A = this chain, B = another copy of it.
Amino acid sequence: MERNVRLSPQDKEQMLSYFEAEVMQVLNWLAAFSPDEEGGITRLLYTDGWLETQQALAVKMASYGLSTSFDNVGNLFGKLQGEDMDAPSIITGSHIDTVVQGGMYDGAYGIAAGLLALDYLHKHYGKPKRTLELVSLCEEEGSRFPMAYWGSGSIVGKRNFEQIVHLQDSYEVFFADAMQRCGFGEGTARDSRRHDIGAFIEVHIEQGAVLEKEGIAIGVVDTIAGQRRLKFEVVGESNHAGTTPMHMRRDALEGVSMMIQTLRQETIRIGSPLVATVGRLQVQPNVPNVVPGKVIFTVDARHADEAALDCFCRWVLGAFASIAADRQLELHGTEWFREEPVPMNERLKQQLDAVCGELSISSKRMISGAGHDAQMFEHICPTAMLFVPSRRGISHSPEEYTEPSELAVGVLVLTELLYRLGYEGEEL
């Protein structure tokens, strides 16, 4: 059943108040699983709390009229079958896992939004032309085992069982054993790899403060930024803080403080969307009356453009080497993490821009500085991502918060895009 006209302002307001109430109900219901005694939610991959949540979600999806299934890594799908049996599915969703003491929006909001959107469309317009699916991905954060994007990566073929053979959590539990304990693993259900996805749309909180500060309702993600993580070890000489004149010192911390200053100046000079952060730093021997002999620290650099990021990282290595040489400090630098920028699908971005424009919802194109499941899906299908504001940019914390009315806007935009893709049969 197709609509004859675009949504009226009255429709829009009705939908917003409906979604505002419903989305909080779903989010509060989800947040009640896996509470952390210290506050917030800790729902790590393949834990009891994780399994309970995923199983409860399957029941809930079914009660919303979706036909549910798990794949063999524990991704949960809820399907709204379309008329065209051969057309690839339009999938929306996000991840169910959290960081340790995480909040109730990161990941969960994308699942709640998808559930409400599919339910609304089903109730109002019946069977879609193209199959619509909601996915509750098993894992994204990399918080239990040292691997992220296990759920989406398994679907797109970037993750497989060979990669997890040696992985253990911090209690030395093997990945495969934890998975098996929850009933998943090779041969337990259908293979996670899919070749029948027509598009993936993810709704997420921004996890930054840009939308809030600029008073904008929706961020249409232009590109998911590329990342480099570098680790540096700077070696000078530990000396007595009282007996070593300033000119005889090889103070590793002084050298590193100059590196941090230089890094910041160059990052600001190059400008947005480049960001660079020294987040972890350890001093040795770290005693008040000893000149630091060694400092180990990390640099996290992100940019939407791969070449610009490479160029910046080369500059970092050269600039740090020069600062170290000036001070007779040894410098060892290694890159231990790299992710290339992933531009979102241009046509879908334009469709999102159009939806926001037609519904008079403020929006802007923006870079996602954080990584998301969407960057995995973009390898196999047109993918889009949209953000709603995060209060004070806080995430990965029990203080994570977005106003219910802001959450509702995201659900509305998702619903409208899914309508156009699933019911109007807009081109992908």
Which A positions have Cβ atoms within 8 angstroms of B? 206-210, 213, 225, 227, 229, 237, 239-248, 251, 253-254, 256-258, 260-261, 264, 267-268, 272-275, 277-283, 286-292, 298, 300, 302, 368-371, 392-396
Contact = CB atoms under 8 A, between A and B. Distances in A.
Contacts of A237: 392
Contacts of A243: 206-210, 368-370, 393, 395
Contacts of A256: 257
Contacts of A254: 260-261, 264, 278
- Total copies of the chain: 2
Contacts of A242: 207-208, 225, 227, 275, 300, 302, 368-371
Given A213-B248, A242-B302, A281-B281, 10 more contacts: A208-B242, A209-B248, A225-B242, A229-B288, A240-B396, A241-B275, A243-B368, A279-B288, A279-B292, A289-B300
29 contacts: A208-B242, A208-B244, A209-B239, A213-B248, A227-B242, A240-B393, A241-B277, A241-B279, A241-B369, A242-B300, A242-B368, A243-B370, A244-B393, A246-B264, A246-B267, A246-B268, A247-B268, A248-B393, A251-B264, A251-B277, A253-B260, A257-B258, A257-B261, A261-B261, A277-B291, A279-B286, A279-B288, A281-B286, A282-B286
Contacts of A279: 241, 283, 286-292
